[in-house]
Amino acid sequence: MRNFLILLYRSFSNVVPLLTVMIVFQIFVIAEPFPNPARLATGFLLVIAGLFLFERGLDAGLFPLGESMAFGFAKKGNIWLLLLFAMAIGYTTTIAEPALIAIAERAEMITAGRITSMALRNAVALGVAGGIALGVVRIILGHPIHYYIIFGYVLVMAITTVAPKEIIGLAYDSGGVTTSTITVPLVTAIGVGLASTIGGRNPLSDGFGLIAFASLAPIITVMVYGLLAL
């Protein structure tokens, strides 16, 4: 019961700042009453309920699942199967990401089909899968994360100089729509679980960082796709 109340309070407190800003601007800047206040109040209550259920789901399902998968693969000595699993999670969750679908369809329309929605989504999803795989390898090998990230962004800058200008902004945006509400907690749990399992790894310094790889790699793959398609 205590955990239930804590999660409910946390969900409510997360929405209150947004609600406060909207009320202040509506009253003192726009200086007009809210249209259909009863419907808006119902909407905010549903948002609070949704946040509560989402956080409850993370605690009860996704985080334990990711950690148990990491522990299970490591216990059986199948670290590389864990690598394959992480890649599959990254690809399958990204290819169906609603924000990515919206951007891809818009890009196909603007370019009159030169960039196809499915090809762009695959380029992003493959980038996420490859990025997560590289992040898992880093945890296994125990390398510092900054070397990988610095090299990655140097590569991004190099490809940017030769990529078609039409694809550059799209590529950079693609890195931001890949971290879905399913991918982030599950991949984070995998990273922390893997770092907790391998001797000599620190879950805090080694376990986190997979999302950075998942955001960086799609920028590269989309620009490469642009070089081939445009």
| Each residue's pLDDT expressed in tens, for the chain with a length of 230 residues | 666 677 677 777 878 888 888 888 888 888 888 788 888 888 888 888 887 887 777 777 667 777 777 777 777 777 778 788 888 888 988 888 878 888 899 899 988 888 899 999 999 999 999 999 999 999 988 999 999 999 999 999 999 999 999 899 999 988 887 666 667 777 888 888 888 888 788 888 898 999 999 999 999 999 999 998 87
Domain assignment present for 113: yes
Domain end (from 60, 89, 107): 60
Within a domain: residue 130? yes
pLDDT confidence of residue 69: 73
Same domain, 2 and 33: yes
pLDDT at 134: 94
Domain residues for 183?
A: 78-229
Q: What pLDDT sits at residue 1?
A: 65
Q: Which residues contact 119 (CB under 8 A, 6 or more apart)?
A: 225, 229
**Is 106 in the same domain as 209?**
yes
- What's the CA angle centered on 99, arms 98 and 103, to 5 degrees? 115
Q: How many separate domains does the chain show?
A: 2
Residues 36 and 143 in one domain: no
**Pair (107, 56) in one structural domain:** no
Residues 149 and 38 in one domain: no
pLDDT of residue 154: 97
Q: Is 14 found in the same domain as 55?
A: yes
- Residue 103 belongs to some domain of the structure: yes
Predicted confidence at residue 22, as pLDDT, reads 82
- Tokens representing 183 are 């991918």
Check whether residue 118 and residue 214 sit in a common domain. Answer: yes
Same domain, 55 and 149: no
Taking the model in full, what pTM does it have? 0.78
* CA distances to 153, 154, 203, 204, 220 from 192, in Å: 24, 27, 5, 7, 26
Q: Would 66 be classed as within a structural domain?
A: no
